[in-house]
Structure 1
Amino acid sequence: MERKGKILLTGASGFVGYHLIAAAVARGYEVYAAVRKSSQVDHLKEFPVQYVYPDFANAAALQQELQAQQYDYIIHAAAATRAPSQQAFNAANADITRNLATAILQSGIPLKKFVFVSSLAVLGPIPYDCSDPIAENNEPHPITGYGRSKLLAEQYLREFPTLPLVTLRPTVVYGPREKDLYVMFKTLARGMEPSIGRKNQLLSFVYVADLVDVILDALEKPTPPGLVCNISDGQVYNRNELALITKRILNKKTFRFTVPVGVVRMLASLMETLYARSKKSPLLYRERVGELTAPNWNCSIANAQQYLGYMPKYDLEKGVTESLKWYKEHNWL
């Protein structure tokens, strides 16, 4: 197979990183996986990747790494989705992004494309009855520290107008190996169906295979400077559809019950208190409750369709079917 070039992939050991490596190798790219020395990479051993250990906190060291390797493409998919403070979020998601962009330009390498995997959390949700979906040019109103840090990263990248940049903002990503929605799948498989509050919601999702395809397409297609694209499966779902689809596929009946939002917020506050002195962050925290109960995450994918030829292959039914099949085959369910 003809080699298409060298990719530096950050976040390589994570959920999306795994699928990016698989797809990039299949397309003929030479993949350099940026990981920490402490990262678990056993699940990547089937792939012919080379591991590198850049110091993303040090722009000068990054510059030397880039000059030594002469990468053709960079996909910056690394992100902290939980952190103990806004400062920690910014350090992990924004400062490192700026360091990487600085090193790219100072290194002088002839980079063909830099794809930044941002998040729909940058823009935040819209009202339930809003007639238009979330568009890329909406005024940002992030409601979490994660979203604010990703917005800051995007703002930093605008300081580098010569960077061959494409920014992608995926909504909730799911698929084999994902661990957050998996908690819900596992709960439903056990016959329990908790629901937070009673207000209507409109949700969006993207299956991981569609996301990695559009990321790699962004490397290969000519794009206008600074292109920004929201990424979902192009559909919008009510708050119950994910559970309904999951129960139908698993052939499960569940005990459904509603937990008041106030109770969940109290639990989130308690979790934050318990984790106050820990280096880890709780799965549930107050801002996360706001995100989970937000009224409308429906987003437009018109930019991705127009400029990247994006045509999602997986709606929620097909994607959940494939996910549950994988979880069962690998004894997660």
Structure 2
Amino acid sequence: MRERVLITGASGFIGHHIIEEALKNDLDVYVAVRKKSNIAHLKAYNVQFTNLKYSNQKLLAENIRENKYDYIIHAAGLNNASYRGAYDYVNTTLTINLAKAAVGQVKKLVFISSLAAVGPLKDLNGIITENTEPHPVSNYGRSKLVAELLLQKVPGLVYTILRPATIYGPGGKQLLPLLNKLIGGKETYIGTQPQKLSYIYAKDVALASVKALYGGNFKTYNISDGNFYDRTELQKIVKDILNLHTAKFHLPVTFVKLLASFKEKVSYLGGKNPEPSPDRLKDIIAPNWACSIETAKQELGFYPLYNLDSGLDKTINWYKANNWI
């Protein structure tokens, strides 16, 4: 009999990549989706759908018991919000509700956290490892870190925590504003401070997530493509792929912060979250996100399949095929 996995956040950007990887590994896949979620893109997969009431630990436990999951990959979360309480509730409180409901019922819970939980280094020297003292700079990162710490204290829970670097790939909209500016001839940067950045292609996040089902109990791992890049490399690669010629602009950090604050107020009045919020801007402009994945390689057997060049090529081809650009 095939082992069964529940994937939360399945209708989101990362979710369908994890579904594909789980199916490829012959797992019986259940996906948790909200009632109002658009799941048209998931109906082609051989999966079962379920709804979870994350705020109710008793109902969560009943769902887990009735469906007899062997594993849970918790990829649901809030990436952008206008106030800290929203991050804390979704990324921390609801995660711990699910973890407590899973105790004694599943073999393992894999929690998709974020490199933002440990936070960036303050200068270009050094590299982030699993032993780096966490100092998140954003409310998003703090909410993920608190979830990690509380998860580790849930009695009887077997877990693995993954901290992905900046994720991109097919289905993700994060790159679209940048791509549209480049296509319009504008290569834009915030300030002039040098940066070291880490990225990971969505399918590699999925690869690590499934590998974590079978190893790394009670451990936390940083995951990226294993490289780090200066602040200009992503846009250079995109320009090469699309054969673009652009003019370069450096926007003052103070101006971008003021603009983000203004957009946040306007978005709040309209009931939407700003992109990016002033809070997430702290992560975006930080100097050093270079991270080591040696521990994940050694203990999980995680070897990423894509670097930034190959991942962006796949992503841009997907955008074109789906008329996103």
User: Which AA in structure 2 matches 1:125?
Assistant: P
Corresponding residue for residue 248 of structure 2: 256
Contact 1:144 1:288 (8 Å CA) reproduced:
yes
Aligned residues: CA RMSD: 1.3
Corresponding residue for residue 178 of structure 2: 184
User: Which AA in structure 1 matches 2:186?
Assistant: M
Give me the TM-score of the superposition, normalised by structure 1: 0.94
| Cα deviation, residue 278, structure 1 | 4.2
| Per-residue deviation, residues 226-258 of structure 1 (Å, max 9, x unmatched) | 110000001010000000011011111012111
| Per-residue deviation, residues 194-225 of structure 1 (Å, max 9, x unmatched) | 111111011000011111111111113x33x4
Corresponding residue for residue 125 of structure 1: 120
Q: Which of 257, 261, 270 is residue 265 of structure 1 equivalent to? A: 257
- Written as runs of structure 1 = structure 2, the 5 A alignment for 1:222-301 is 222-223=215-216, 225-301=217-293
| Per-residue deviation, residues 122-159 of structure 1 (Å, max 9, x unmatched) | 011102332x3111121111111111110111111011
Contact 1:135 1:300 (8 Å CA) reproduced:
yes
Separation in 2, partners of 1:277, 1:243: 33
Separation in 1, partners of 2:187, 2:173: 18
Corresponding residue for residue 25 of structure 2: 27
Is 1:102–2:100 an aligned residue pair? yes
User: Which AA in structure 2 matches 1:294?
Assistant: A
Q: Which of 132, 156, 174 is residue 162 of structure 1 equivalent to? A: 156
Corresponding residue for residue 59 of structure 1: 57
| Cα deviation, residue 90, structure 1 | 0.7
| Per-residue deviation, residues 10-51 of structure 1 (Å, max 9, x unmatched) | 100001001111121222111111011001100111101111
Is 1:145–2:139 an aligned residue pair? yes
- Are the structure 2 counterparts of residues 152 and 279 from structure 1 closer, same or farther at C-alpha, using a change threshold of 3 Å? farther
Separation in 2, partners of 1:279, 1:88: 13
User: Which AA in structure 2 matches 1:200?
Assistant: P
Contact 1:133 1:299 (8 Å CA) reproduced:
yes
- Written as runs of structure 1 = structure 2, the 5 A alignment for 1:1-40 is 4-40=2-38
What residue ranges of structure 1 are gaps of 5+ in the alignment?
Answer: none
| Per-residue deviation, residues 75-129 of structure 1 (Å, max 9, x unmatched) | 0000101123211111101001111111112xx32x2221000000001110233
Q: Comparing 169-178 with 269-278, which one deviates more in the overlay?
A: 269-278
Separation in 2, partners of 1:13, 1:284: 21
Give the aligned length.
325
User: Which AA in structure 1 matches 2:70?
Assistant: D
Separation in 2, partners of 1:304, 1:283: 31
Corresponding residue for residue 108 of structure 2: 113
SS class of match (1:8): strand
Q: Which of 307, 311, 321 is residue 319 of structure 1 equivalent to? A: 311
Corresponding residue for residue 323 of structure 2: 331
What residue ranges of structure 2 are gaps of 5+ in the alignment?
Answer: none
Give me the TM-score of the superposition, normalised by structure 2: 0.97
Separation in 2, partners of 1:64, 1:13: 22
Q: Percent identity?
A: 42
